[in-house]
Structure 1
Amino acid sequence: MEIIITVLIVASAGAILYRNLKRKAQGKCECGSCNSKCPKYEERD
């Protein structure tokens, strides 16, 4: 049971990292929700 939970946590973390790296490579905001506190938002102004 612990192995299944560990695999799910690692898979979730990997998916999040992959998504963030993909967004960053495309020049998009990688911070989950682009708001005024996001560094990419400040660069656009």
Structure 2
Amino acid sequence: MSILTIILCILLPPLAVFLKHGLGSEFLISLLLTLVGWLPGVIYAFYVTGK
């Protein structure tokens, strides 16, 4: 995981997931979790991009 990915996971979780996996179910889940609360979006982004 690069420094850019880590920064994006913290600041813009859906963008980090989009750059890693494209426009798919992972992105939509990340977007919804970020809209519900920032922290769940960050946790999910780290989980998905770390796979």
TM-score by length of 1: 0.36
Higher helix share: 2
TM-score by length of 2: 0.34
